[in-house]
Amino acid sequence: MAKKLNKKGQLIYRRLFAFFAIFTVYLICIMLITSCEQKSNDEGEDTDIKLYELRIAMTEAAGNLPAMSVVDGSMESGEELFPYLSDLSYELVDDYFFSYSSDGSPYELAVILLKDESNAKFAAQSLDEHISKRVATYSTYKPGYADAARKASVVSYGRCVALIMCDDNDAVKEAFRSYLEN
Amino acid sequence: MNNVSEKTLEAGFLPGPGDGKTTPRPLGKAIYIMLALVLIVSATAAALGVVSILGIKNVNSELRDMDGEIIRVGEFIEHATGIIGATQDVAQEDDVTIGGRYVIKSTRAISDAYITKDTSALDDKQKETLSMASAILDSIIKDGMSKYEMALAVYDWMCANLKSDEGVIVAIPTTTEDCDNPYGVLKYHNAVCVGYATTYRLFMQMLGIECMVVHDSWLSHTWDLVKLDDGKWYHTDIYMDVGEGNYKNFCMNDTLAAMGHTWNKDFFPAANGMEYCYVYKNAVPVTDIFELPTLIKKGSEDDVTALYYSFSSLDARTYQMIETMMSLISSYFGSYYRYDYDGAQIYADIYGIGEMSDLIVDRPVPKSLYWDWIGGPNGEYIMRISITKQENSNYYELTEEEYRQIQEAVTDVFDDNQNSNVISAEICYISRDNAGPYYIVMSGGCFYIVYTEPLGGAYVGSIISIDITNADYIYLGGVEREFPDYGFLPIEAEIYGANVWLEGSPIRG
């Protein structure tokens, strides 16, 4: 067809050809990007998890809490303090927060945001071990706190694994679930 | 024709069979742009639709854990929690980490330096530790002391001069620096259990007494094993006794220590001595259980925090009587007050905390009483009593109305038939023909009546009712009053000539 065109026509033809070539590449890129986003949207209600907001939601749901101290992954000492919560390798952790009673009473709220949710089970096990250690500590130094510590819960949703130790674990679990589902 | 062709050629198209008209250039460009935009939008929409239709997914969307179990994305999972039962114990004494933070370190270098008088191998911190420890021993150890006496002297000093660092129970501990070694303990007088245990061991080793630091099976607590004059080992947990110094955890054998501790018995030596068990050495033999209230009251008034009483034999009935008595006595520690019905004076319970004139300002610190039983080395039964101060408890005084409500609520439920359980008229019915006074000590439906005359008996049980309508007079707080027109009597009411129906068993006739 190009041979049938004059020079001007050939120029236009080439421009159109280039346009459609670029357009085709664009189409392919769009499809690739879209498929990735589709995967994320299918699997990741967690694409926009803000641990700060989650902590606020869980803290409000817990009701009356004593004065709490908080450490999280954004702190300079975040990685150094993480082992007080979990013996999970920090390389597996995307972010975390650990809110605990400043006076040592059995009130703790923590969430570990994993890089890969396939490690959720292991993170949960580490939090279970944390509870065991707290019970042992209380049994020795403050026996009156041990029962409350035993009632602590560990729950997970996607990449998030939470430790809940307070007077109303169920309310905090619901807040945890609601935030991540929405 | 040529003009048309030229224009057409300019547009880039061959002249066609039309009327020779050509599209102006700007309009052609606009069409191109519009067409491009339409195509781009359509392509994007189509891409989304194609992906949706074909269900294109990441190949890793089906996640599996290490065991191959599929983890469903977005699933809320509640994990079962439970105490990990397996012990984390380690079979060694030193270099063990307790509570994930505190390390048991040997102090042999310091104690050896004390014995050999050679401090050349010590660093500055160790020298300072040695200096502080030496000064303490010089002040509390006397020549000729037995090992037991030296162990006791050090225990007394540590309990009196050190305090527990409560930061140990915080999730991220806030304990002070060096709270887990003798340097910090002796310098700042603030310690966690590791600090107490290693410091006590240092003192013992300086005195030439064999001593080991024992850690529990959870790696959460430490105490000491000391070898005394009889060549046997004894447990001492100073941390648990600090502040009170009640010897409850001083010189225990394995049996006594096991009541509150678990440890690796395969690694640490057995503590099966009897001679120096503090409880056994200091238990007071009791032959008359009715001496107990007086003994306990005196102990409380003397601020004794631990009392030990032994009973050579104990049948089931006597045991029940003691338990009932102890329940009644314990109720007098801090919880109940009786009132002067003029409201001007408030008196504390006779077995509790003494007399007060101002409830708010001069209220003394309430105490709690607890007791338990252990077996003695010769088959006797030993009752251990702890009397502790509730320094910072949320303590609320009961008002008269609250006390009355409690009384009525309990008796309404438990006193189903007020006249059906009278044991016998002879024992339980105290007629007005009997001369008084007798004291009714009452708490929560239980009473303890002591007769001065003429029956000379005592009863323990529940007061069903007290009919005081025909009482001659009653005393409250040593002051004669007209009897009140309500149904119950406060504690320590002296009643003359009232008819009392009781439910219960006589302790003695």
pLDDT tens-place string over residues B314-337: 888 888 888 888 888 877 775 333
- pLDDT band for B374, please (50, 70, 90 cuts): confident
Cα–Cα distance for residue pair B329/B368, rounded to 1 Å: 10
Token match 């597996």: residue?
A: A92
Q: Within 10 Å of residue B168's Cβ, how many Cβ atoms?
A: 28
Cα–Cα distance for residue pair B137/B111, rounded to 1 Å: 12
- Inter-chain residue contact A43 with B40, CB threshold 8 Å: no
Cβ(B338)–Cβ(B491) under 8 Å?
A: yes
pLDDT, residue B26, reads 54
pLDDT, residue A17, reads 83
Token match 């035993």: residue?
A: A150
- Inter-chain residue contact B172 with A100, CB threshold 8 Å: yes
pLDDT surpassing 50 at residue B441: no
- pLDDT band for B412, please (50, 70, 90 cuts): low
Is the same domain home to A70 and A87?
yes
Start-end of H helices in B283-424: 292-301, 316-330, 400-414
Domain final residue pick, A43, A58, A74 = A43
Is the same domain home to A24 and A39?
yes
Least confident of A13-22, B408-417, B469-478: B469-478
Tell me the shortest Cα–Cα distance from B403 to chain A, in angstroms.
Answer: 27
* Backbone phi and psi for residue B435, each to the nearest 5 degrees, phi listed first: -80, 150
| Average pLDDT of the residues in B187-210 | 92
Is the same domain home to A61 and A80?
yes
Is the same domain home to A89 and A168?
yes
Cα–Cα distance for residue pair B170/A100, rounded to 1 Å: 8
| Average pLDDT of the residues in B445-453 | 40
* Backbone phi and psi for residue B102, each to the nearest 5 degrees, phi listed first: -100, 130
| Structure-model confidence comparison of residues B66 and B385, the more confident one | B385
Is the same domain home to A103 and A153?
yes
* Backbone phi and psi for residue B61, each to the nearest 5 degrees, phi listed first: -65, -25
B44 touches chain A (CB under 8 A): yes
User: Could you read off the pLDDT of B41-50 as tens digits, one per residue?
Assistant: 776 666 555 5
Cα–Cα distance for residue pair B119/B113, rounded to 1 Å: 5
| Structure-model confidence comparison of residues A17 and B231, the more confident one | B231
Cα–Cα distance for residue pair B219/B99, rounded to 1 Å: 6
Number of domains chain A is built from: 2
- State the best of A98, A133, A176 to mutate against chain B, taking most chain B CBs within 10 Å: A133
* Backbone phi and psi for residue B307, each to the nearest 5 degrees, phi listed first: -125, 145
Is the same domain home to A31 and A61?
no
Least confident of B62-71, B200-209, B385-394: B62-71
Cα–Cα distance for residue pair B198/B192, rounded to 1 Å: 10
pLDDT surpassing 60 at residue B348: no
* Backbone phi and psi for residue A120, each to the nearest 5 degrees, phi listed first: -60, -40
Chain B 252-271, residues with CB within 8 Å of chain A CB atoms: none
Least confident of B158-162, B238-242, B434-438: B434-438
Cα–Cα distance for residue pair B261/B238, rounded to 1 Å: 13
Smallest CA-to-CA distance from B448 within B296, B287, B325 is with B325
Is the same domain home to A120 and A151?
yes
Domain that holds residue A136: 46-181
Cα–Cα distance for residue pair A62/A173, rounded to 1 Å: 9
What pTM, to 2 d.p., does this model score?
0.55
pLDDT surpassing 50 at residue B499: no
* Backbone phi and psi for residue B387, each to the nearest 5 degrees, phi listed first: -120, 110
Cα–Cα distance for residue pair A2/B199, rounded to 1 Å: 98
| Average pLDDT of the residues in B51-63 | 41
Is the same domain home to A10 and A85?
no
Which residues make Cβ contacts (< 8 Å) with residue B56, sequence separation at least 6?
A35, A38, B50
Name the pairing type of β-strands B284-285 and A108-114.
unpaired
Tokens of B53: 């239709």
pLDDT, residue B28, reads 64
Chain B 55-74, residues with CB within 8 Å of chain A CB atoms: 56-58, 61, 63-66, 71, 73-74
Is the same domain home to A9 and A82?
no
> Chain A residue with minimal CA distance to B217?
A136
> Does ipTM top 0.90?
no
Beta bridge partners, B263, equal B216
Which of B14-18, B293-297, B425-429 has maximum average pLDDT? Answer: B293-297
Is the same domain home to A76 and A36?
no
- Inter-chain residue contact A36 with B58, CB threshold 8 Å: yes
pLDDT, residue B477, reads 41
Is the same domain home to A56 and A108?
yes
Q: According to the 3-state scheme, what is the secondary structure of B182-244?
A: HHHHHHHCEECHHHHHHHHHHHHHHCCCCEEEEEECCCCCEEEEEECCCCCEEEECHHHHCCC
- Inter-chain residue contact A120 with B71, CB threshold 8 Å: yes
User: Could you read off the pLDDT of B236-280 as tens digits, one per residue?
Assistant: 999 888 866 678 889 999 988 988 788 999 999 999 988 899 988
- State the best of B77, B89, B217, B390 to mutate against chain A, taking most chain A CBs within 10 Å: B77
- Inter-chain residue contact A155 with B77, CB threshold 8 Å: yes
| Average pLDDT of the residues in B172-199 | 86
- Inter-chain residue contact A8 with B9, CB threshold 8 Å: yes
Least confident of A37-46, A144-153, B184-193: A37-46
Average pLDDT taken over every residue of chain B: 68
Cβ(B171)–Cβ(B198) under 8 Å?
A: no
DSSP, collapsed to helix, strand or coil, labels residue B300 as helix
Cα–Cα distance for residue pair A84/B99, rounded to 1 Å: 10
Which residues make Cβ contacts (< 8 Å) with residue B178, sequence separation at least 6?
B184, B185, B187, B188, B195
User: Could you read off the pLDDT of B80-92 as tens digits, one per residue?
Assistant: 665 444 445 788 9
Smallest CA-to-CA distance from B318 within B288, B347, B346, B294 is with B288
Chains A, B: CB contacts under 8 A, how many?
A: 164
- pLDDT band for A4, please (50, 70, 90 cuts): low
* Backbone phi and psi for residue A108, each to the nearest 5 degrees, phi listed first: -145, 135
| Structure-model confidence comparison of residues B286 and B506, the more confident one | B286
Is the same domain home to A125 and A38?
no
Cα–Cα distance for residue pair B173/B39, rounded to 1 Å: 64
Token match 């359509």: residue?
A: B42
N-term to C-term CA, chain B:
146
Q: Which residues of B touch A135 (CB under 8 A)?
A: 83
